């Protein structure tokens, strides 16, 4: 097992990156939080708080905040909290600074949409591996940033292709208020973490349209079936889709307005336009990008994903929400299959 008291660099200072920096400090590690913009780092250092993305959470003086990437040369673990659509370019940026033996723990959720063909090579592990030869893992689970930063009890899955690496990292990063369970299924964990954001938009639309809790529960359950179908087609393991990374994360994201994706869906369901909703936000709603990626993914893998397809049509084809809902409800149902 890895020993404690590591130098952990957290790349990306959104709400989740900041919360992880706080949590790693609580675990007893030396922590460096690396925002992508210098002015953001200066703001955080001036007030010792990330007022843009995580108000009310104080950063202790010993938590270093800097945009100097040369700090990566002394880091022992890198937590990658860069939005999915910026991962490809950021990997090129850090390449000259990052020793090749440092484990990268990807804490972002999403699928890279830059390639014309969306397949397993669009998962963040594959995107990073094209540039960085480092050992890689995925951290994912049912976590709202503010609660993790406040030290409220939480749990997550840490998955790597190497069982030893997964166990070592899970042991090193966990603490009594942040339990981490090891997994050897990074494919399934990534698919679950990305797809649940699209299902959350669908659940938000249902609540925004005031269709009822029965419909919301049905969407969550059938959404899990879509996650499982896609994940297992790529080699994911069935137990992943019954655990924290799928059932846990899906339940949390689809049952609280704290979820950016669910809140966006509620706004759509209440009649707002997507452009208006996004214009009023300073955070990334990753489910919007993922809906487009899953549309292409489902085509390339020949997987039935009607809920994700419905969200795609609302977001990208500008179809009327009511029409899409009616079409979804009118689909022929046959044998129920998980």
* Catalytic machinery residues: 196
Residues 244, 141: contact at Cβ < 8 Å? Answer: yes
Terminal Cα distance for the chain, rounded: 36
User: What is the distance between the alpha carbons of residues 114 and 130, in angstroms, rounded to a whole number?
Assistant: 14
- Count how many Cα atoms sit within 13 Å of the Cα of residue 309 in the half-sphere of its side chain: 15
SS3 content of the chain, % helix, strand, coil (to 5): 50, 10, 35
Distance CA 15, CA 12 (A): 9
C-alpha–C-alpha distance, residues 180 and 121, integer Å: 26
Which three-class secondary structure state does DSSP give residue 33? strand
DSSP, residue by residue, 143-177: --HHHHHTT--EEEEEEESSHHHHHHHHHHH-BTT
Instruction: Give the Cα separation of 323 and 331 in Å (integer).
Output: 13
Cβ-based burial of 88 (10 A; exposed 0-12, middle 13-18, buried ≥19): middle
104 forms beta bridges with 78, 136
């Amino acid at each position: 097992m890895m020993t404690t008291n590591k130098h952990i660099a957290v790349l990306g200072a959104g709400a989740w990156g900041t919360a992880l920096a706080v949590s790693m400090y609580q675990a007893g590690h030396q922590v460096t939080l690396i925002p992508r913009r210098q002015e953001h780092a200066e703001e955080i250092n001036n007030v010792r708080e990330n007022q843009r993305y995580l108000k009310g959470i104080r950063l202790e003086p010993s938590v270093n905040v800097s945009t100097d990437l040369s700090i990566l040369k002394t880091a022992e673990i890198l937590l990658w909290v860069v939005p999915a659509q910026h991962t490809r370019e950021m990997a090129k940026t850090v390449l000259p600074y990052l020793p090749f033996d440092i484990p990268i723990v990807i804490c972002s959720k999403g699928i890279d949409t830059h390639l014309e063909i969306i397949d397993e090579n669009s998962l963040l592990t594959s995107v990073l591996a094209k540039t960085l030869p480092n050992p890689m893992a995925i951290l994912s689970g049912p976590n709202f940033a503010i609660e993790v930063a406040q030290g409220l009890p939480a749990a997550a899955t840490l998955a790597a292709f190497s069982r030893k690496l997964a166990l070592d990292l899970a042991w090193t990063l966990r603490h009594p208020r942040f339990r981490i369970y090891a997994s050897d299924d990074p494919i399934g964990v990534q698919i679950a973490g990305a797809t649940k954001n699209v299902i959350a938009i669908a659940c938000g639309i249902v609540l925004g349209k005031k269709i009822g809790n029965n419909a919301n529960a049905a969407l969550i359950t059938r959404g899990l079936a879509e996650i499982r179908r896609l994940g297992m087609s790529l080699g994911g393991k069935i137990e992943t889709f019954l655990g924290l990374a799928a059932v846990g994360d899906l339940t949390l994201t689809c049952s609280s307005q704290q979820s950016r994706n669910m809140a966006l869906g509620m706004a759509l369901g209440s009649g707002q336009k997507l452009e208006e909703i996004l214009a009023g936000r300073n955070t990334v709603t990753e489910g919007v990008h993922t809906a487009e990626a899953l549309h292409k993914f489902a085509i390339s893998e020949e997987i039935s994903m009607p809920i994700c397809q419905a969200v795609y049509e609302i977001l990208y084809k500008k179809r009327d929400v009511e029409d899409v809902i009616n079409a979804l409800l009118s689909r022929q149902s046959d044998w129920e299959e998980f």
